[in-house]
Chains A and B, each alone.
Chain A
């Protein structure tokens, strides 16, 4: 499964979820699949998508919050797995697209090739943690997570893609991304 395929498979299931996107290819690919008002595109601050998503989830317990994280992003802020497990928001799904490389900078090796992030999350204390590798198993895992108390962790194995990345950058200015998401939350 490639990143765009995984995102397209998930897109019909998102409903009114707030989705916080890690920087790099994840934000750009999701922007090109569907530019939802409830999408927070993090264009800098690598590592912090999980912290931003957690901040929303803790502040709005009735709001479904999804983090679209990358393996490189999560490795930069592994403490957030501890924070999410400790605070245990029931409304949070933490989904990591794991290709084992830093794809946005040229597919350099990431240590997630040997370190299982799903087992780290499970050991930290997420209510569930699963690893999937096909669109069908990904959507099944998302539906299961959305229908049970979280926090849920889903690791989606993603193929390494070579060649130029297809899909433009996020075109909204950052303050508009902020305002759209705040409006979608109803803040």
Chain B
């Protein structure tokens, strides 16, 4: 078990991620797409039992998820880290203030600085941004993704707060 072996591990199949979502009780999906999780969004979108609502902005998705939570749902919000910048006020003055949980699946463009220029600065700061506003998160490897999903679920239940998974390229697809 060298670090190289862990890095080289294949991405987790989107079907397996979606199945884990459902097994853990998630039943309301919204967000704004990212190419890093296009497969996962396609799987969620094609699930006849559970709607995926394509939102127009990431902060609106946070609002939609808050409403769903108030109505008894267990929501997931999927977005690119560029959208995290859009969401800061929604997270601080709605989700964190009212204590309305949601699983935030945030893709990590600009990971290790290797990406198109528009992603490099947010790629550098997105983890610190989550730390600064007080959103707890983990950065899964393919081998830890399902365990980290369990952690995020337990964290939301314990603290009644959102929790995030910051997905670098290659964790799923």
Contact = CB atoms under 8 A, between A and B. Distances in A.
Interface residues of B, number: 32
Given A45-B89, A87-B53, A52 B64 contact: yes
A182 B66 CA distance: 11
Contact of A45 (B51, B53, B72, B94): B94
A40 B57 contact: no
B39 interface: no
Q: Interface size for chain A: under 10, 10 to 19, 20 to 34, or 35 or more residues? A: 35 or more
B100 interface: yes
A58 B63 contact: no
A151 interface: no
Nearest to B72: A187
B98 A55 contact: no
Q: For the complex, would chain A's binding face be called helix, strand, loop or mixed by DSSP majority?
A: helix
Given A58-B53, A178-B98, A52 B93 contact: no
Interface stretch (A5-13, A75-83, A104-112): A75-83
B56 interface: yes
Contacts of B94: 42, 44-45, 48, 52
A55 B71 contact: yes
Given A44-B89, A79-B57, A87-B53, A56 B67 contact: yes
19 contacts: A42-B94, A43-B93, A44-B93, A44-B94, A44-B97, A45-B59, A45-B62, A47-B60, A47-B63, A51-B55, A53-B67, A55-B68, A58-B68, A59-B68, A60-B71, A77-B63, A79-B56, A79-B57, A175-B98
Interface of B: 28, 51, 53, 55-57, 59-73, 75, 89-90, 92-94, 97-100, 160
